[in-house]
């Protein structure tokens, strides 16, 4: 094993990496700022103190190559593809079925879902699997009144654990097998490490299912927190001919098609029906006044777009796919104060429709158009995006901009599903690399109208781009300066007298730590020759050490840049760097201990 002599550039690289990890963990500065500072420091270091590496000069081109890394491009493009599914509501029906089962037995269904994800990841690239389940898990979390942070990291970890079982479970496994074959080692079979890998995956899944959710914070998006998803609006729905509401009646104050909404009044001509609405069957021309949260109103509009044609002040909302939902507060100096919605002419002046009214002091009863507005009332408005954003210039209402939400464009749902299915199928079969499939899928989403360019750009998380680029630069510097090989040599020198079992355990621990700093691919390629040479020097079969590298290189749980599925869930889960340290570090320790106990007896060392 060739190890470069220690040089001051290596120690400087160690110092920069340590400082970056501390800043990432404490999040004293935004992740983008820390990543940019690390890149700048590495660029300056190797510009003024150039280093000749085996692959050439360590220059700006090598350090900035992470921005063009296929793994990063794949992750960013898959974000666009996933946003296309969300934007069109393509998976909503499947999500409703799954969430209903969750409500009946949440613990059992969540357990089975994560087990299925792990099993699929053993045979299919785990990145598309995680992409499939991100919107499913996020919506299930919302329906269970839990933050997505409780379910999305377990999703990523379950997929990574499943990749430990078979040769094709992870690209890391294939890289190790290739490196081992290049050193004249026997070819690794498809299920050669399935037994120990299955044990480690089972141990890890037990932690992911029962412990990890308790370690993660209950964190919703800022928009959800500020919008106050639990507050009730008074809304009014007109029953039109052909509406799914025709013929329905209220049961315990609820109408089946308007699940979760409390019916407060049914208006039929001049006659008002109050609870309990006995024997009242809805007819065309009726008006239903309900109390509902914004989330329930949004779901109803997405599921049944014709409900968006709420005729509170003479207008129609238009097609749901082109509409935006937002909240606007009546200002103290507004001229609409004291007027009811019939006289305000809101649609005439703004092009938007008032869907609901919320008054913090009390819950109102009566038809919505009869409500006289007061200062501080919050209006739930629906309209074309341009009209809603124009409300920021209104003197009558104050647009609460972070509350704006575009409604799903359901008429493009089949197109989005077709694009998504094509991406998954092509990537899973290996017809083309996943980066190519993902970029083509992102283009397909935009070309077919599932997303526009602005929506696609907003789907890309800049934190992920900067984090991956900085992590790859760290790995490049660490390899070029000989830092990783130096750490391995020091470990071997220190522990060689303690026997193969201890050295195998230490090798696993070192690789598990390094895979969270370097990329797992770089870790696999770098440490496979080290592990084989170590085993040969000790006079033992290298198989145990090769398998240790495979399992340890897959332990990418403690940092978001450790594995691309961690990056995929970072944005939707609203995770911080410290969340991965808190949730992933115990899992790495647990798998390391399980391997250390299992390996001596299983491999006979």
User: Are the CB atoms for 39 and 468 separated by under 8 Å?
Assistant: no
The half-sphere exposure of 106 on its side-chain side, counting CA atoms within 13 A, is 12
97-101 contact pairs (CB < 8 A, 24+): 98/136, 98/140, 99/139, 99/140, 99/143, 99/144
Token pair, residue 151, equals: 């379910």
Decide the pairing of beta strands 287-293 and 232-238. antiparallel
Same domain, 564 and 476: yes
Please report whether residue 541 resides in a domain: yes
Same domain, 72 and 145: yes
Please report whether residue 443 resides in a domain: no
Same domain, 134 and 167: yes
Task: State the pLDDT at residue 549.
Answer: 93
Distance of alpha carbon 172 from the chain centroid: 22
Please report whether residue 156 resides in a domain: yes
Please report whether residue 240 resides in a domain: yes
Same domain, 72 and 177: yes
Among 376, 409, 442, the domain-final residue is 409
User: Are the CB atoms for 207 and 582 separated by under 8 Å?
Assistant: no
Same domain, 472 and 582: yes
Same domain, 255 and 402: yes
Please report whether residue 92 resides in a domain: yes
Dihedral sign, CA of 405, 410, 416, 420? positive
Same domain, 473 and 508: yes
Tell me the per-residue pLDDT of 167-183, one tens digit each, with 9 for 90 and over.
Answer: 878 878 887 888 788 77
Task: State the pLDDT at residue 139.
Answer: 67
* Residue 272 phi, psi (nearest 5): -110, 130
Please report whether residue 277 resides in a domain: yes
Among candidates 24, 10, 198, 11, which has minimal Cα distance to 558?
A: 24
CA 478/CA 518 separation, integer angstroms: 8
CA 165/CA 163 separation, integer angstroms: 6
Domain hosting 98: range is: 8-41+59-217+463-599
Same domain, 242 and 181: no
Percent of the chain with pLDDT over 70: 85
Among 394, 409, 424, the domain-final residue is 409
| Number of neighbours of residue 91 by Cβ within 10 angstroms | 22
Please report whether residue 416 resides in a domain: no
Same domain, 381 and 508: no
Same domain, 181 and 246: no
Residue 350: CATH number of its domain: 3.30.70.1450
The total number of structural domains in the chain stands at 2
User: Are the CB atoms for 531 and 549 separated by under 8 Å?
Assistant: yes
Among candidates 76, 63, 34, which has minimal Cα distance to 467?
A: 34
Burial of 25 (0-12, 13-18, 19+ CB in 10 A): middle
- Residue 34, classed as helix, strand or coil, is helix
CA 572/CA 534 separation, integer angstroms: 42
Same domain, 300 and 345: yes
Task: State the pLDDT at residue 436.
Answer: 87
Token pair, residue 590, equals: 């647990």
What stretches of 228-366 show up as alpha helix (H) in DSSP? 294-303, 341-344, 346-350
Rounded to 10 degrees, the C-alpha dihedral 94/95/100/101 comes to 80
Tell me the per-residue pLDDT of 471-520, one tens digit each, with 9 for 90 and over.
Answer: 778 777 877 887 767 777 777 788 877 889 999 999 999 999 988 877 67
More confident site: 497 or 312: 497
What's the predicted TM-score (pTM) here? 0.62
Nearby residues of 601 by Cβ (< 8 Å), 6 or more positions away:
none
Distances (CA, A) of 293 to 140, 230, 253, 258, 567: 17, 6, 16, 12, 32
Residue 206: band (very low, low, confident or very high) from pLDDT cuts 50, 70, 90: very high
What stretches of 360-482 show up as alpha helix (H) in DSSP? 385-389, 413-429, 434-447, 453-459, 462-480
Token pair, residue 266, equals: 């049914």
Task: State the pLDDT at residue 573.
Answer: 86
Same domain, 250 and 389: yes
Highest mean pLDDT pick, 9-18, 22-31, 88-97, 120-129: 9-18
User: Are the CB atoms for 542 and 535 separated by under 8 Å?
Assistant: yes
Residue 92: band (very low, low, confident or very high) from pLDDT cuts 50, 70, 90: low
CA 529/CA 512 separation, integer angstroms: 16
Task: State the pLDDT at residue 362.
Answer: 60
Tell me the per-residue pLDDT of 576-597, one tens digit each, with 9 for 90 and over.
Answer: 888 999 999 999 999 999 999 9
Task: State the pLDDT at residue 223.
Answer: 43
Token pair, residue 447, equals: 């070309």
Please report whether residue 208 resides in a domain: yes
Nearby residues of 107 by Cβ (< 8 Å), 6 or more positions away:
none
User: Are the CB atoms for 501 and 153 separated by under 8 Å?
Assistant: no
């Amino acid at each position: 094993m060739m190890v470069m002599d220690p040089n001051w550039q290596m120690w400087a690289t160690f110092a920069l990496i340590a400082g970056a990890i501390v800043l990432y963990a404490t999040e004293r500065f935004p992740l983008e700022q820390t990543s940019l500072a690390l890149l700048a420091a590495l660029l300056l270091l190797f510009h003024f103190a150039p280093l000749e590496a085996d692959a050439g000069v360590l220059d700006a081109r090598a350090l900035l190559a992470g921005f063009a890394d296929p793994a990063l491009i794949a992750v960013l493009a898959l974000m666009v593809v996933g946003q296309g599914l969300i934007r069109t509501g393509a998976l909503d029906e499947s999500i409703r079925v799954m969430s209903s089962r969750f409500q009946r037995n949440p613990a059992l269904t969540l357990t089975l879902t994560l087990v299925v994800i792990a099993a699929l990841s053993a045979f299919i690239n785990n990145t598309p699997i995680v992409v499939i389940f991100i919107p499913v898990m996020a919506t299930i979390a919302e329906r269970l009144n839990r933050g997505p942070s409780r379910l999305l990291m377990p999703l990523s970890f379950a997929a990574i654990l499943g990749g430990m079982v078979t040769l094709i479970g992870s690209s890391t496994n294939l890289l190790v097998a290739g490196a081992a074959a290049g050193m004249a080692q026997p070819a690794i079979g498809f299920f050669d490490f399935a037994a120990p890998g299955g044990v480690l995956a089972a141990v890890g899944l037990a932690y992911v299912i029962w412990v990890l959710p308790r370690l993660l914070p209950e964190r919703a998006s800022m928009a959800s927190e500020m919008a106050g998803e639990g507050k009730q609006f008074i809304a009014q729905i007109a029953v039109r001919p052909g509406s799914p509401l025709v013929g329905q009646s209220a049961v315990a104050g609820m109408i089946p098609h308007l699940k979760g909404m409390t019916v407060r009044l049914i208006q039929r001509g001049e006659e008002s029906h109050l609870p309990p609405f006995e024997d009242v069957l809805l007819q065309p021309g009726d008006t239903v006044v309900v109390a509902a949260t914004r989330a329930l109103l949004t779901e109803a509009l997405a599921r049944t777009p014709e409900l968006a044609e709420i005729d509170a002040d003479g207008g129609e909302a238009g097609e749901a796919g082109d509409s935006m939902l937002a909240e606007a507060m009546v200002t103290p100096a507004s001229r609409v104060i004291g007027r009811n919605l019939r006289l305000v002419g809101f649609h005439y002046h703004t092009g938007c429709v008032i869907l609901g009214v919320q008054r913090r002091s009390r819950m109102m009863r009566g038809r919505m158009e009869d409500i006289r507005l007061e200062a501080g009332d919050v209006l739930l408005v629906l309209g074309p995006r341009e009209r809603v954003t124009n409300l920021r210039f209104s003197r009558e209402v104050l647009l609460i901009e972070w509350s704006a939400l575009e409604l799903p464009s359901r008429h493009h749902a089949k197109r989005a599903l077709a694009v998504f299915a094509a991406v998954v199928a092509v990537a899973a079969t290996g017809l083309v690399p996943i980066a190519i499939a993902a970029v083509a899928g992102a283009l397909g989403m935009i070309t077919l109208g599932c997303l526009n360019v602005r929506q696609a750009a907003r789907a890309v998380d800049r934190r992920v781009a900067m984090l991956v680029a900085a992590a790859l630069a760290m790995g490049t510097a660490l390899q070029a300066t000989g830092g990783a090989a130096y750490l391995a040599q020091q470990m071997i020198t220190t522990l060689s007298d303690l026997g193969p079992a201890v050295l195998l355990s230490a090798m696993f621990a070192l690789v598990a730590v390094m895979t969270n700093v370097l990329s797992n691919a770089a870790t696999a390629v770098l440490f496979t020759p080290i592990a084989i040479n170590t085993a040969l020097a000790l006079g033992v079969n290298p198989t145990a050490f090769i398998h240790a590298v495979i399992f340890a290189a897959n332990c990418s749980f403690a940092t978001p840049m450790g594995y691309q599925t961690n990056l995929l869930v970072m944005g939707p889960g609203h995770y911080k760097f410290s969340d991965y340290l808190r949730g992933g570090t115990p899992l790495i320790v647990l798998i390391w201990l399980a391997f250390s106990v299992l390996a001596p007896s299983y491999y006979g060392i």
